[in-house]
Amino acid sequence: LMLQQGAEIWAWLQDGASFYVCGDASRMAKDVDAALHRIAVEHGGLGEEDATAFLAGLRKDKRYQRDVY
């Protein structure tokens, strides 16, 4: 579902949105992280390394937070 809404999610992130993930650490959280990375590549036009750096920046700025277990 995230990938289907990728353009909208990317636009929200570019407008300053925060992203919160809560739930299963073993699978769901990894899948969400991978989806955000792919969205940054496909809709943000970022390369793989730049997408990784973008997500790291969101975490550093506390705009991408996870409460996983």
Indicate the fold that domain 6-68 takes in CATH: Rossmann fold (3.40.50)
Q: What is the DSSP letter of 29?
A: H
- Given a cut of 90, whether residue 18 has pLDDT beyond it is yes
pLDDT in tens, 27-47: 999 999 999 999 999 999 999
Question: Is the Cβ–Cβ distance between 20 and 56 less than 8 Å?
Answer: no
pTM of the model: 0.92
Q: What is the pLDDT of residue 23?
A: 93
Domain boundaries, the chain: 6-68
Q: What is the pLDDT of residue 30?
A: 94
| Averaged pLDDT of the chain | 97
Q: How far is CA 46 from the centre of its chain?
A: 13
